[in-house]
């Protein structure tokens, strides 16, 4: 598998890229505003009206534009745009939006977009404002399927972030109902059962993507001869995957519901986050590409 | 510019704010009695009449009736039809509105602003039914029809543009809302009702309306439990078997007259083990409480009593009250639109507008096609077009001029001409028939 090189400059692409770079945060911002409007409106007032569909429509448009952006950058640079930290932020924002859309479409709930899409907007603003330079891909990242491994990992992590957000919303609503605090937040949230399903749906999607990332990473390591068996990040990631896998299994097979199920998924998410920091701070891993 | 004939819409009636329940109960009219009332109003010269009679109000609306003392007339009508004397001191229960207040009042009633439960939706159906009866009794006409259109449009806007109808306004509704917030769809959930009294029955009705089909009832008296089960499609279970049936219930409504608790913490703890910790909601509508408050400490068990449900209702009513100014604004908009329509019903301006519209079209077409003819033929062409237009306009103009602005037939004719020839551009077809 050879390394791919950058293509010669294409004037049309060069003109298109700045437009897409600017359009992305605008679309995500407008979408976030649309979701905020749905959340702040009195329950039922916007139901079935165009006012309720503005945010989701703009989010879909933003995701389509984001795909075009990634494709254009990929075409020009000869690799997926994951070389710099700003590229990573943009890819993370994209992944969060895709995972959120998947959960929204499955559960048909729109009042929770306000808790995810502003984060996407924030990530894309930083990426669009400070990114832009088309960095060369570092040698270890160049084979295409390692790029796909990275993209799958980003999607997996993003799905777990969305799952954790729904887990927190569940716990907040659960405590409010228990304590009879039936106010603004209570009126706008879907049912506890639905929030629980959204939490586990997103975690399930994360498991699939992270599993793909782990498998692709192991395959690449075998081919290139990199020793991954002694790598702490690999093992910590696999451990986090197993904790999350157990949480999803417990929901579907053992009938776990309520705070217990959510705590299990949050434990997996916490393990994942801590593994990232633990590796960077305390261990040496080939996974850090500085 | 000539103005239309005055609207002359009168409203006389009483409601839950001006009269006690026994008076309102005594005055509720059935369809035959409403027909008699409308007949009596027509005999007194009313061109159109409508009676709105519900448990919370009985109101008479009449247009064009030559009645000097409406209060006395309507009081006499109530005495004749219902045997209820509302003269003298009892006359204080009655109120009178004339236009535009009568129109505004009707619109406010239709929007639920005048209801005992603010924003309640049943009144819209009751208003429609009142019009159906008026139509069958010969009381309806173009003005009352148009008034109903305005009222239904205002009610529809109030429900879709404001939150006046949102949120529960009774403890039973609040209980259903809470159950839906915990469990989502209630269609597959199982309800256990402990007690077979009125409160329990009301709760069962609301939960059935919300989609619950699997209901169990437990009561100390077997006979009452069986009667309850028959009335609500429930299955009877023994009160002694509560620990056995509790794991099979998702929602428990308890409303007994028991002096002590019936559902204890250890019973619920055991039930949750069997349920594998799936959510269990208790709605304790009894005083004193039937369910041990310690139950609320258990994970995934929710317990709400009358105080909690009352708090939800109070909050909901406060939200509805906050929406009243928005609904009043909608009422004012629809009132203005209705009055504007009524003012447009004058004969002379309608004839002028109609003739002007046709003559303008003829002139424009003439100018467009003139270049195809030789200039020496232009004069003949103009004369031809003028002659055709005048011949076509003659009969409608004569018929319109003879239309009586106070007569329903005359109003209908004027209104039809304005509609057919698009004289009132602001009124769309949807505006004219929001039903």
Q: What percent of chain A has pLDDT over 70?
A: 84
**In chain B, what residues touch A190 (CB-CB under 8 Å)?**
184
Count of beta carbons in the 10 Å neighbourhood of residue B244: 12
Q: Which residue has the higher pLDDT, B47 or A52?
A: B47
Query: Whole-model pTM above 0.90?
Result: no
Report the residue count for chain B: 435
Q: Which residue of A has its CA nearest to B161?
A: A45
Query: Which residues of chain A are within 8 Å of residue B168 when distances are taken between CB atoms?
Result: none
Is A278 exposed, middle or buried, given 0-12, 13-18 or 19+ CB atoms closer than 10 A?
A: middle
CB-closest option in B162, B178, B279 to A257: B279
Q: Give the pair of three-digit tokens for residue B150.
A: 């305005």
Shortest Cα distance from B281 to chain A (angstroms)? Answer: 10
The reported pLDDT for the residue numbered A4 is: 46
Asked if residues A251 and A257 have their Cβ atoms less than 8 Å apart, the reply is yes
d(CA A171, CA A188): 15
In angstroms, the separation between the Cα of residue B303 and the nearest Cα of chain A is 7
Please identify among residues 156-175 of chain A the ones whose CB lies closer than 8 Å to any CB of chain B: 173
- Which helix (H) or strand (E) segment holds residue B229: the answer is helix B222-232
Q: What is the largest CA-CA distance in chain A?
A: 64
Residues in chain B within 8 Å Cβ distance of A173 = 181
CB B80 within 8 A of CB B49: no
- B163 — contact with chain A (CB < 8 Å)? yes
Task: Give the distance from CA B39 to its chain's centroid.
Answer: 25
pLDDT of B434 strictly over 50: yes
Q: Write down the mean pLDDT value for chain B.
A: 88
Instruction: Tell me: pLDDT of A106 over 60.
Output: yes
Range with the poorest average pLDDT among A42-56, A113-127, B55-69, B113-127? A42-56
Residue appearing with tokens 């009774």: B170
With CB atoms and an 8 Å threshold, state whether A193 touches B184: yes
Dihedrals phi, psi of A279, to nearest 5 degrees: -65, -45
Q: Does the active-site annotation cover B11?
A: no
In the structure, what pLDDT confidence band is assigned to residue B1 with cuts at 50, 70 and 90?
very low
Report the distance separating Cα A50 and Cα A62, nearest Å. Answer: 18
> By CA distance, what is A109's nearest residue in B?
B184
Do A260 and B277 lie within an 8 Å CB cutoff? yes
Band (A189; pLDDT cuts 50, 70, 90): confident
CA distance B103 to B151: 9
Cross-chain Cβ contact B276/A182 below 8 Å = no
- Does residue B66 register a pLDDT over 90? no
Pairwise CA distance, residues A46 & A38, whole Å: 7
Are B276 and A178 an interchain contact pair (Cβ–Cβ within 8 Å)?
no
The complex's ipTM works out to 0.81
**pLDDT above 90 (res B295):** yes
Q: Report pLDDT for B89.
A: 77
Q: Closest Cα of chain B to A126: distance in Å?
A: 37
Q: B299 vs A186: CB contact, 8 Å cut-off?
A: no
Q: Are A289 and A138 in contact (CB under 8 A)?
A: yes
Q: Out of A157-161, B326-330, B404-408, which region has the weakest mean confidence (pLDDT)? A: B404-408
Rank A8-22, A222-236, B206-220, B388-402 by mean pLDDT and report only the highest.
B206-220
Residues of A in contact with B312 (CB under 8 A): 182
In the structure, what pLDDT confidence band is assigned to residue A118 with cuts at 50, 70 and 90?
Answer: very high
Q: Is A189 helix (H, G, I), strand (E, B) or coil?
A: coil
Read off the pLDDT of residues B125-164 as tens digits, 9 standing for 90 and up: 999 999 999 998 888 888 999 999 999 999 999 998 998 9
Pairing between β-strand B95-98 and β-strand B214-218 as defined by DSSP bridges? unpaired
Quick count: other Cβ atoms within 10 Å of Cβ B307? Answer: 12
Chain B nearest-CA distance from A183, in A, is 8
Give the tens place of pLDDT for each residue, A12-65. 777 888 899 999 999 999 999 999 988 887 565 555 555 567 889 999 999 999
Predicted local distance difference test score (pLDDT) of residue B315 = 84
Q: Among B159, B174, B181, B315, which would you mutate to test the A interface (most chain A Cβ atoms within 10 Å of its Cβ)?
A: B181
Q: Place B60 in a pLDDT band, splitting at 50, 70 and 90.
A: very high
Contact B296 A177 (CB under 8 A): no
CB contact under 8 A, B166 and A191: no
Whether B195 shows a pLDDT value over 50: the answer reads yes
- Looking at beta carbons, which residues of chain A come within 8 Å of B296? 178
């Amino acid at each position: 598998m050879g390394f791919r090189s950058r293509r010669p400059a294409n004037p049309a692409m060069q003109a298109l890229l700045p437009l897409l770079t600017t359009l992305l945060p605008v679309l995500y911002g407008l979408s976030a505003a649309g979701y905020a409007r749905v959340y702040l409106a009195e329950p039922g007032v916007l139901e079935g009206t165009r006012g309720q569909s503005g945010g989701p429509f703009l989010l879909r448009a933003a995701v389509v534009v984001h795909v075009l952006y990634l494709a254009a950058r990929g075409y020009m640079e000869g690799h997926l745009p994951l070389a710099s930290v700003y590229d990573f932020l943009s890819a993370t924002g994209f992944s969060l939006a895709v995972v959120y859309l998947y959960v929204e479409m499955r559960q048909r709930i729109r009042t929770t977009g306000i808790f995810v899409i502003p984060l996407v907007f924030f990530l894309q603003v930083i990426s669009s404002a400070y990114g832009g330079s088309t960095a060369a891909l570092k040698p270890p990242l160049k084979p295409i399927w390692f790029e796909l491994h990275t993209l799958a990992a980003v999607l997996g992590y993003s799905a777990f972030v969305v799952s954790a957000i729904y887990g927190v919303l569940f716990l907040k609503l659960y405590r409010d109902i228990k304590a009879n605090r039936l106010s603004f937040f209570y009126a706008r949230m879907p049912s506890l059962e639905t929030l629980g399903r959204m939490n586990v749906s997103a975690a399930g999607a994360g498991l699939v993507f992270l599993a793909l990332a782990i498998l692709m990473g192991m395959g690449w390591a075998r081919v290139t001869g990199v020793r991954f068996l002694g790598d702490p990040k690999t093992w910590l990631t696999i451990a986090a995957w197993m904790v999350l896998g157990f949480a999803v299994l417990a929901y579907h097979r053992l009938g776990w519901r309520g705070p217990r199920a959510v705590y299990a998924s949050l434990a997996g998410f916490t393990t994942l986050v801590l593994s990232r920091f633990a590796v960077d701070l305390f261990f040496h891993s080939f996974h850090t590409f500085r | 510019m000539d103005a239309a004939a005055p609207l002359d819409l009168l409203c006389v009636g009483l409601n839950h704010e001006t009269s006690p329940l026994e008076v309102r109960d005594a005055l509720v009219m059935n369809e035959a009695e409403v027909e008699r009332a409308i007949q009596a109003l027509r005999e007194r010269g009313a061109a159109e009449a409508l009676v709105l009679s519900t448990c919370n109000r009985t109101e008479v609306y009449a247009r064009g009736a030559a009645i000097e003392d409406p209060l006395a007339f309507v009081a006499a009508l109530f005495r004749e039809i219902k045997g209820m004397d509302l003269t003298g001191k009892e006359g204080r229960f009655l109120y009178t509105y004339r236009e535009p207040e009568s129109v505004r009042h009707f619109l406010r009633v239709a929007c639920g602003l005048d209801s005992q439960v603010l924003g309640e939706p049943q009144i819209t159906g009751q208003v429609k039914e009142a019009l159906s009866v008026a139509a069958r009794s010969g009381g309806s006409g173009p003005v009352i029809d148009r008034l109903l259109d305005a009222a239904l449009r205002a009610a529809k806007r109030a429900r879709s543009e404001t939150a006046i109808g949102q949120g529960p306004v009774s403890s039973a509704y609040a209980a259903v809302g809470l159950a839906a917030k915990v469990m989502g769809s209630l269609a597959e959930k199982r309800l256990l009702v402990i007690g077979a009294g009125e409160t329990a029955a009301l709760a069962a009705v609301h939960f059935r309306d919300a989609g619950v089909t699997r209901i169990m009832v437990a009561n100390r008296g077997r006979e009452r439990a069986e009667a309850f089960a028959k009335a609500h499609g429930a299955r009877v279970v023994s009160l002694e078997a509560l620990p056995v049936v509790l794991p099979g219930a998702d929602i428990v409504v308890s409303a007994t007259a028991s002096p002590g608790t019936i559902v204890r913490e250890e019973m619920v703890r055991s039930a949750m083990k069997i349920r594998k910790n799936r959510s269990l909601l208790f709605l304790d509508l009894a005083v004193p409480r039937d369910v041990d408050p310690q139950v609320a400490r258990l994970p995934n068990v929710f317990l709400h009593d009358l105080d909690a449900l009352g708090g939800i209702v109070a909050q909901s009513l406060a939200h509805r009250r906050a929406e009243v100014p928005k609904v009043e604004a909608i009422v004012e908009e629809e009132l203005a639109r209705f009055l504007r329509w009524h003012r447009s019903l004058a004969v002379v301006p309608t004839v002028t507008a109609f003739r002007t519209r046709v003559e303008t079209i003829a002139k424009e077409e003439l100018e467009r096609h003139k270049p195809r003819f030789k200039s020496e033929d232009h004069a003949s062409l103009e004369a031809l077009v003028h002659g055709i237009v005048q011949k076509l306009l003659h009969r409608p103009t004569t018929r319109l001029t003879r239309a009586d602005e106070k007569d329903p037939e005359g109003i209908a004719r004027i209104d039809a001409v304005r509609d057919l020839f698009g004289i009132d551009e602001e009124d769309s077809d949807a505006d004219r028939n929001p039903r």
